[in-house]
């Protein structure tokens, strides 16, 4: 169901832009650092949100908290080790979102902000946490699918790659029938517990 209430609705736009931009930039930066010039050629080595946005995906995220950004094009042939390169490039996005969630949660616990800025930080924290965990689901085109594919034996990876055509449809089905929530809730709770513990250790 869409969410149409409170200031949080308007604050989703900048929070989404930050979470998505840093996520996609991390993919591009790591791939480029591993020797792949494709992200630079395609204009993705930037923190300009316009380079990373898919308009429909952004609207879906804003209204339904499920959507997508423009995928970063990479070419694993430039990596010295293609499997390691794919894994590092894929995991860079979720790790970056978790780092942003950690920083945001730390700021919230310091009680330095109030009012609308506090609501913005809460929204930013929520999006980074959910985006990190959601992208680790092993279904194409999510990062978890690419990470898992690195560890599969050749006979299984060929079968797994055939899912790419149906991945978006599978995701829509899972989201529509709330299976994603059932899967994500315990994982988000675990990630929240870990971040909460780490921030407490830092602050206290």
- Render pLDDT for 136-149 as a digit per residue (tens, 0 to 9): 988 888 899 889 88
Q: Establish if 181 belongs to a structural domain.
A: yes
Q: Establish if 2 belongs to a structural domain.
A: no
Q: Establish if 38 belongs to a structural domain.
A: yes
pLDDT of residue 64: 64
How do residues 164-203 score in pLDDT, each as one tens digit?
677 777 777 777 777 777 888 899 999 999 999 999 999 8
Q: Provide φ and ψ at 89, rounded to 5°.
A: -65, -40
**Rounded to an integer, what distance in angstroms lies between the CA atom of residue 69 and that of residue 55?**
8
pLDDT of residue 198: 95
Catalytic residue among 8, 24, 122, 164: 24
Tokens at 142, concatenated: 């999510």
Q: Establish if 90 belongs to a structural domain.
A: yes
Q: Establish if 138 belongs to a structural domain.
A: yes
Q: Establish if 158 belongs to a structural domain.
A: yes
pLDDT band at 6 (very low <50, low <70, confident <90, very high): low
**Rounded to an integer, what distance in angstroms lies between the CA atom of residue 121 and that of residue 49?**
19
Overall domain count for the chain: 1
Q: Establish if 182 belongs to a structural domain.
A: yes
To the query of whether residue 122 is one of the catalytic residues in this protein, the response is no
How do residues 70-126 score in pLDDT, each as one tens digit?
889 999 999 999 999 999 999 999 999 999 999 999 999 999 888 899 999 999 999
CA dihedral 26→128→131→45, nearest 10 degrees, is: -20
Q: Establish if 3 belongs to a structural domain.
A: no
Residue range(s) defining the domain that contains residue 88: 8-203
**Cβ 12 vs Cβ 62: under 8 Å:** yes
């Amino acid at each position: 169901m869409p969410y149409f209430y409170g200031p949080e609705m308007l604050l989703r736009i900048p929070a989404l832009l930050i979470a998505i931009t840093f996520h996609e930039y991390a993919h591009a930066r790591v791939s480029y650092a591993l020797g792949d010039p494709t992200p630079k050629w395609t204009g993705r080595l930037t923190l300009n949100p316009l380079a990373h946005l898919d308009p429909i995906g952004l609207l879906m995220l804003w209204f339904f908290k499920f959507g997508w950004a423009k995928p970063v094009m990479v070419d694993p042939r430039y990596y010295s080790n293609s499997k390691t390169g794919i894994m590092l490039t894929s995991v860079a996005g979720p790790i970056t979102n978790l780092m942003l969630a950690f920083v945001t949660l730390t700021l919230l616990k310091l009680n330095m902000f109030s009012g609308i800025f506090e609501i913005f930080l809460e929204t930013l924290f929520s999006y980074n946490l959910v985006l990190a965990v959601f992208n680790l689901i092993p279904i194409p085109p999510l990062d978890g699918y690419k990470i898992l594919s690195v560890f599969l034996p050749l006979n299984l990876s060929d079968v797994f790659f055939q899912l790419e055509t149906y991945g978006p449809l599978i995701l829509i089905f899972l989201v529509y029938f709330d299976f994603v929530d059932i899967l994500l809730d315990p994982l988000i709770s675990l990630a929240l517990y870990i971040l909460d513990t780490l921030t407490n250790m830092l602050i206290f």
